Amino acid sequence: MKTLENKVAIITGAASGIGKAAAFLFSKEGAKVVVSDIDEKLGEEVVEELIKQGGDSFFFKADTSKPEDNEALVAATVKKYGKLDIAVNNAGIGGPLAETEDYPLEGWQKVIGVNLSGVFYGMHYQLPAMEKNGGGVIVNIASILGMVGTRMAPAYVAAKHGVVGLTKTTALEYGTKNIRVNSVGPGYILTPLLTKNLDEESIKAVESLHPIGRLGKAEEVAELILWLSSPKSSFVTGSYYAIDGGYLAQ
C-alpha cells in the first residue's frame, strides 16, 4: 500500500519549486492532490502532468493572503473529494531587500500577508475540515530564517519566525483532536524563488554558506514533507525540522 493511499491533500504554491515537488511525490504515494497557486498556467501544467502519470488532481487558483481564497480552496477540496486529510502551507514570496529603516511599507505588508497571514488563514479553514474528518496533518513551510536572522530581509525573517511560533501554538491546541502540525525549515533551495532573485555570483556565495557545499533540491525537501504527512511520523507534532545542509549548525 502506498504511503498516502486515499488521502486528500492541499498544497499551496504548488506550481513550482518545493510545492511542485511535493505535489508529484504525494501523487506518486497515492494522494489526491489539490494544486493551488496564483499562477494558473503553471498550476494547470502541473495538474496535467500528474493526471498523465495516473494521479487524481485538480487546480484551484488562490491568493493565500486573502482569507476568502483560503476558505474557497478548502470548500472546493471537500466538495470534490469529500474530505481533507493533509495541508501543506507552502506558498511564499521573498519580497524586497532593504534595511529595516528603508524597507518599503507595501513590501512589508505583502510579505507578511503571504508568508505569515497566509499560513494562518490556511489553517483557519483547514482545521475545521480536518476535525470533521476525525483528524489530519498540517505542514507549514518556514525557513532557516525562522530560526536566525539575516540582513536586508526584515519582513521575510519576521514572517518565517511567526510561522514557527504559530505552528507550535496550533499543535498544542489540536493535539487531542488527532491533528498534527509541524513546520519545515529549508535552507537555500534551488527553486525559481531563488534563481529569479539572485545572479550567478550571488548563488555561488549562498552555496558557500552551507557546510554541505551545495544548495538543496526541492525533491529533498518534499521527502521530509512526505514523512511529516504520513503515519510514519505519528508521534511528531509541534516540531520544527531544518533541512539546510548544516546551515544552522554553525
3-state secondary structure the chain: CCCCCCCEEEEECCCCHHHHHHHHHHHHCCCEEEEEECCHHHHHHHHHHHHHCCCEEEEEECCCCCHHHHHHHHHHHHHHHCCCCEEEECCCCCCCCCCHHHCCHHHHHHHHHHHHHHHHHHHHHHHHHHHHCCCEEEEEECCHHHCCCCCCCHHHHHHHHHHHHHHHHHHHHHHHHCEEEEEEEECCECCHHHHCCCCHHHHHHHHCCCCCCCCECHHHHHHHHHHHHCHHHCCCCCCEEEECCCHHHC
**Residues labelled as active-site residues:** 156
